[in-house]
């Protein structure tokens, strides 16, 4: 005597829902590599003080947001932590990438204090200031590792 299992429509629906949730989770929070997320982009998109220019600022690879974006006195700020890069490497990425996106160098990346590197760019009447420093959790060690090595902030304001 063989035992035959009967699949019910309820079981099929449950499996389909589970598969859909699993597939959606695989893509959760993904965004084009090195780009500001759609949520952050919309937050400063059309009709916002900067007309979407912030959305065209690339992110250093392997960046993860820290907190939420803030806006104070006309300056929009967004901070990130990055794995495997020193503050110098973070600003080097921007020095190589921003000119091809129409940003002019106002202030070449340079050291400003201990383990902090700063640079400033200008485009369409907007100033982008980027400050990177060793992540506090590393106690000032700027040796890049696979763990968090640096944190940086993008500050966008009227020129």
Q: pLDDT per residue over 61-93, tens digit each?
A: 889 999 888 988 889 999 999 988 899 999 999
**pTM score, whole prediction:** 0.64
For residue 37, give the 3-state DSSP assignment.
Answer: coil
**Which H/E stretch holds residue 119?**
strand 116-123
Backbone angles phi, psi at 52, to 5 degrees: 90, 0
User: pLDDT tens-digit profile of 23-33?
Assistant: 333 333 333 33
Query: Is 60 exceeded by the pLDDT of residue 140?
Result: no
Residue with tokens 């299992």: 5
Express as a percent the part of the chain with pLDDT over 70.
58
- Asked whether 154 and 91 are in contact (CB, 8 A), the reply is no
Write down the domain spans for the chain. 32-158
**Better pLDDT: 148 or 18:** 148
Of 122, 130, 131, the C-alpha closest to 159 is 122
């Amino acid at each position: 005597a063989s035992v035959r299992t009967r699949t019910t429509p309820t079981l099929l629906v449950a499996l389909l829902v589970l598969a859909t949730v699993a597939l959606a989770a695989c893509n959760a929070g993904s965004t084009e590599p090195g780009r500001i997320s759609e949520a952050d982009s919309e937050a400063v998109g059309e009709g916002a003080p900067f007309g979407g220019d912030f959305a065209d600022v690339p992110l250093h690879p392997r960046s993860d947001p820290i907190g939420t974006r803030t806006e104070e006195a006309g300056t929009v700020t967004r901070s990130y932590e990055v794995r495997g890069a020193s503050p110098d490497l973070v600003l080097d990425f921007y020095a190589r990438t921003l000119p091809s996106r129409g940003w002019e160098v106002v202030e070449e990346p340079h050291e400003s204090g201990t383990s902090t590197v700063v640079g400033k760019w200008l485009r369409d009447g907007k100033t982008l200031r980027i400050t990177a420093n060793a992540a506090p959790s590393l106690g000032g060690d700027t040796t890049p590792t696979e763990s968090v090595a640096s944190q940086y902030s993008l500050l966008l304001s009227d020129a």
